[in-house]
Amino acid sequence: MSQELGLLHESQRLSSPIGDIFRPKNWAEALELYETLPEALPLAGATDLLLDLSRRSADKDNSDVSLIDLWGLPECSEITLEKNDVIIGCGVTHNQLIKSQNLDSALKLLGSACMEIGSPQLRNRATVVGNIVTASPANDTISALVALNASVLIESVHRKREVPIREFFTGFRKTTLNQSELVRSIRIPRWNPQTVGIWFKVGNRTAQAISVLHAGVVLEFDAQSSLVTRADIALGSVSETVTVSKSLSQYLIGKELNAETSATAALTAATEIEPIDDIRATASYRTNVTETAIRRALVELSKFSSSQARTIPLLGWTPKRPAPPQANLSTASDLSCNVNGSTVTARIANNATLLEWLRANAFTGTKEGCAEGECGACTIKLNGAAVNSCLVPTAQADGSTIVTIEGLANGSDLHPVQQGFLDKFAVQCGFCTPGFLVAAAALLDENQTPSTEDIQTGLSGNLCRCTGYYSIVKALSDLSTNTEDS
């Protein structure tokens, strides 16, 4: 095979190499570091960043990429409830926000969008702020934040500024961020008792699907007349940027929301969009589905009901993130972790992801399937939370506790999920099995009696090409039943 760069598929090319990883002790130090290293890349959960680096093909002109690691900074990892606003720090993960939906009704709408981001493993790492900085119109939380009239708090060494999120995006994957500026947090106005909202998406499958359409709708009503006083609907994945329907807002304000006005408003919004054609849907389909989905959402809101907070498996999300033992790292640094109860110390070398480091230096049971966080074959427990190890920068695991498939059994005694898979013949080729077992163990750690819906949601980040999933779900369902009976 020719080795010329242009003749290789992107998956065959070497990714941009990671060089130095800087770990500021606090937010102020992070700003100073970014000021002195403007070409460095800031990261938190890194789920988008590692994919971007893997698609930036390395060649002889490419130098190593330096990273500024913001993961786990205490002042960035909290959700703060103020009198009039909710403040979401730049390190807050999607599962963290889902867990905190009870803080304010506005967060229920945002939580609905967070539930549709990837998988439980991805949501344990991916951050809400990271979602908006990536600035893809397909990112589900953006439509929720735009409909919520959120604003973005931006800081650098020299100044602080606050930008309405509707002005934050300047184009496809482009934002208003200047050199050496970081997003500190997101501010969301709290709702009053007359505010209701809903978030929805249309995708080609029920889990891990990039949206054909996603939308956030927020309405306010007059307390006496029940007429609409505010109508904000943000539409994503239909155009190059997430857009707000001004015509729908103008039409609905001052009117009673009923089946007739809902239908007219939906048609107005669908006529206003400039839909795109892509691999997921045609422009014509997007126009039709936008009208239908908006009409149904508005009819639901005419009952004056908001999005209901759901409880879904989080697979071990925890608010505590251990402090890294080393401030700065490079490929020449040694990484030390507790893996399956034993200390493993080895050089980072060219192992950009934790998956690569584990397979090179510890255990090979964890598999690489897609290397994009889609299949779940590489699922491990990192400090108690199930994550995709293919999307964890190796340096971020320094000093952590890791459990792989080899660490589930207790000596010769199999873990209950391992025995359940054997009993129900839930294994065929076996390549995906390690990821399924670790995710299932994390699910049962969290909920010993999961429902079928819990099992399906908890394992939605794991793909299997052989079993059809029935035997896998059956194995866990039977474990749940046996736990209830005992």
pLDDT in tens, 10-21: 555 556 789 999
Q: What is the DSSP letter of 18?
A: E
pLDDT band at 2 (very low <50, low <70, confident <90, very high): very low
Q: Which residue has the higher pLDDT, 204 or 164?
A: 164
Residue 158 tokens read as: 């020299």
Contact 479, 415 (CB under 8 A): no
What pLDDT is attached to residue 1?
A: 40
Contact 217, 190 (CB under 8 A): no
What pLDDT is attached to residue 16?
A: 78
CA distance 242 to 142: 7
Asked if the model's pLDDT at residue 218 lies above 70, the reply is yes
* Three-class SS state of 236: strand
Q: Against a cut of 0.85, is the pTM above it?
A: yes
Please state, in angstroms and as integers, the Cα–Cα distance from residue 180 to each residue in 18, 62, 177, following that order: 19, 21, 8
At 86, which helix (H) or strand (E)? strand 85-89
CA distance 333 to 70: 19
* Three-class SS state of 163: strand
pLDDT band at 119 (very low <50, low <70, confident <90, very high): very high
β-bridge pairing 85-89 and 228-236: unpaired
Contact 340, 33 (CB under 8 A): no
Asked if the model's pLDDT at residue 464 lies above 70, the reply is yes
What pLDDT is attached to residue 303?
A: 82
- pLDDT one-digit tens code per residue, 230-266: 999 999 999 888 999 999 999 999 999 999 999 999 9
Residue 238 tokens read as: 């239909």
Closest CA to 94 of 75, 79, 84: 79
Q: Which residues contact 226 (CB under 8 A, 6 or more apart)?
A: 256, 304
β-bridge pairing 182-189 and 151-155: antiparallel
- Mean pLDDT across the stretch 48-75? 80
What pLDDT is attached to residue 63?
A: 77
Angle at 83 (CA atoms; ends 82, 87), nearest 5 degrees = 25
Angle at 357 (CA atoms; ends 30, 23), nearest 5 degrees = 10
Question: How many CB atoms are located within 10 Å of the residue 10 CB?
Answer: 10
Please state whether 197 falls in left (phi above 0), alpha (psi between -120 and 50) or beta: beta
What radius of gyration do the chain's Cα atoms show?
A: 23
Asked if the model's pLDDT at residue 345 lies above 70, the reply is yes
Asked if the model's pLDDT at residue 431 lies above 60, the reply is yes
pLDDT band at 204 (very low <50, low <70, confident <90, very high): confident
Q: What does the chain come to in residues?
A: 486
- pLDDT one-digit tens code per residue, 90-115: 999 999 999 998 899 999 999 999 99
Contacts 24+ apart (CB under 8 A), 169-173: 169/135, 169/142, 169/241, 169/242, 171/240, 171/241, 172/135, 172/136, 172/137, 172/240, 172/241, 173/134, 173/135, 173/136
CA distance 221 to 195: 7
Asked if the model's pLDDT at residue 483 lies above 80, the reply is no
- Mean pLDDT across the stretch 194-205? 91
- Mean pLDDT across the stretch 171-175? 92
Q: Which residues contact 254 (CB under 8 A, 6 or more apart)?
A: 227, 228, 229
What pLDDT is attached to residue 60?
A: 46
At 476, which helix (H) or strand (E)? helix 470-485
CA distance 176 to 181: 10
φ, ψ for residue 90 (rounded to 5)? -70, -15
- Domains of the chain in start order, with CATH, are 5-72+321-403 (3.10.20.30), 78-301 (3.30.465.10), 408-485 (1.10.150.120)
What pLDDT is attached to residue 17?
A: 85
When the pLDDT of each residue in the chain is averaged and rounded to a whole number, the result is: 91
What pLDDT is attached to residue 62?
A: 63
Q: What is the DSSP letter of 455?
A: H
What sections of 175-314 are H helices per DSSP? 246-252, 259-272, 283-301
Residue 461 tokens read as: 């980040």
Asked if the model's pLDDT at residue 337 lies above 70, the reply is yes
CA distance 242 to 143: 6
- pLDDT one-digit tens code per residue, 6-58: 565 555 555 678 999 999 999 999 999 999 999 999 999 999 988 888 877 55
Asked if the model's pLDDT at residue 405 lies above 80, the reply is yes
